[in-house]
Every structure is written in structure tokens, then in C-alpha cells.
Amino acid sequence: MIITHLTHSTFLVESDKAYILFDYFGKGFLPKDIKKNIYIFSSHSHQDHFDMKIFELFGDKPKAFFILSYDIKRKFGNKIKTEYPKCQDNITYMMPDKHIEINDMHIETIGSTDAGVAYFIEYDNKTFFHSGDLHLWIWKEESADYNEKMKKRYFREMKKIHNKKINYAFYPVDLRQAEDYDIGIRYFLDNTETEKVFPMHYFGDYLATDMIFKNDSLSNYYGRIIKIEHENQSFNFEEGK
């Protein structure tokens, strides 16, 4: 299996059976000839997580399945229906706290602390978690009341995946939070059984990776954190492990 960090929060998983594409918004190299099933996930409608270009790229492929957050339907649903009518049968919109089966893939959602949903996926004897914008968004410029409410929302959602076994996770590390950039990923790793986590939400600033691996408070997790250094970087994992 190959997992490629395309950019920001966009990742492409390629297994022997299928592709899984997360939060593509028009950037990053994609395979030109896709013959396997491809599952396209969009966690929410923000422009750095979703672009209707996914329908231009994959809308004519019968083996393409679109799994989109409910807020995308609310914001763009009519436009998608009008401009890409042939895609409709392969689009599934998901609310938080729902689960569905598409072919042999099991998909669950939980809520976000910003917009849309986060996805937990079971496929081909592997589990994946893409956080979208579910994160502990603590900001120094916000009020104590705001940050306290944020913590409560975050802990409520994280409780739903407490001690969940996750093979591959994709989780935000955002340097705009200054010294609080690491609190979310530490809590996530402490409270899930995640084998490997890909930091994301970099906005192209790979200094985040350097800071992670110089941060003593994260040193116990270094073996579980994937070291992302540039866009379109691929990582190989043996099938069955």
C-alpha cells in the first residue's frame, strides 16, 4: 500500500484493490489512468478541503464513489446536481454520527469542531481516520469562554473514538496556533490506538514537521508520527501489516 501526501490535508491511499482520496481541492499529482475503484472523501466545504473539480476528474468513471459532508450538500448541492447530473447516483452525503457501507467499505462519521465531519473507515482489513477540521482549535486571541467551549466540543467528539484502533490517521498540526500547535495531536495519540499518524493542515509550511521532531513533549510519539517533508511525498507500507 502507498500513501501519498499531496498537499495540506490531501492524501491519496493506493491499495491493491482501490484508491482512497481525502480532501482534494485541486492540488497535487494524481494518477492519470485509474482503473480500480476510487473513493473520494471530502470532510467539509472549506476551499482548502473541497473543490468541485473532483467531479470533472472522476465524474465519468463508474468506479468512482463520492463521500461528502452534509455541509457540502447545503452549500453546493444544487450546483453539483445541475452541473454534474451523471454523478448523482455515486454521491453519498453524510451527517455526523452516521455509518454506511459502500461496496466492501465501512464508513463512520463523527462531528467536527469547525465544519463538516471526520471519517473513520474500515477497508481491506485496515482502518483509516481522516480528521478533516476536527481538532482542538485553541487560539490565544480568543476569549477564555470560547476556548473552554472548544475543549468541551473536542472532548465530546473524541470520546466517540476513544481507544479506537486506527492503522493510519490524518490529523491537523497547525502552526497558526503558536505554542498550542501540538495539543491536539498529543491528545489524539494519547486517546486512540493509532499506529501511524500523518500530520496535516500545513498550508505548505513544512517547518511544522521540524517543530514536531524537535518537540520533547512529542518525543514518545516519534515512532508513530510520519515525517512529511514536501508535497507529493509517498510512503510505502507492506500489505497485510
Residue 240 has pLDDT above 60, yes or no: no
34 lies in some domain: yes
The CATH number linked to 199 is 3.60.15.10
Q: What is the pTM of this model?
A: 0.95
Residue 59: per-residue pLDDT = 87
241 lies in some domain: no
Angstrom distance (rounded) from CA 82 to CA 86: 10
> What average pLDDT is seen over the chain?
94
CA distances to 55, 222, 228 from 80, rounded to whole Å, are 8, 42, 33
Taking only the tens place, the pLDDT of each residue in 130-188 is: 999 999 999 999 999 999 999 999 999 999 999 999 999 999 999 999 999 999 999 99
Domain count, the chain: 1
Ramachandran angles phi, psi of 169, nearest 5°: -120, 155
65 lies in some domain: yes
22 lies in some domain: yes
Taking only the tens place, the pLDDT of each residue in 8-54 is: 999 999 999 999 999 999 998 998 888 899 999 999 999 999 999 99
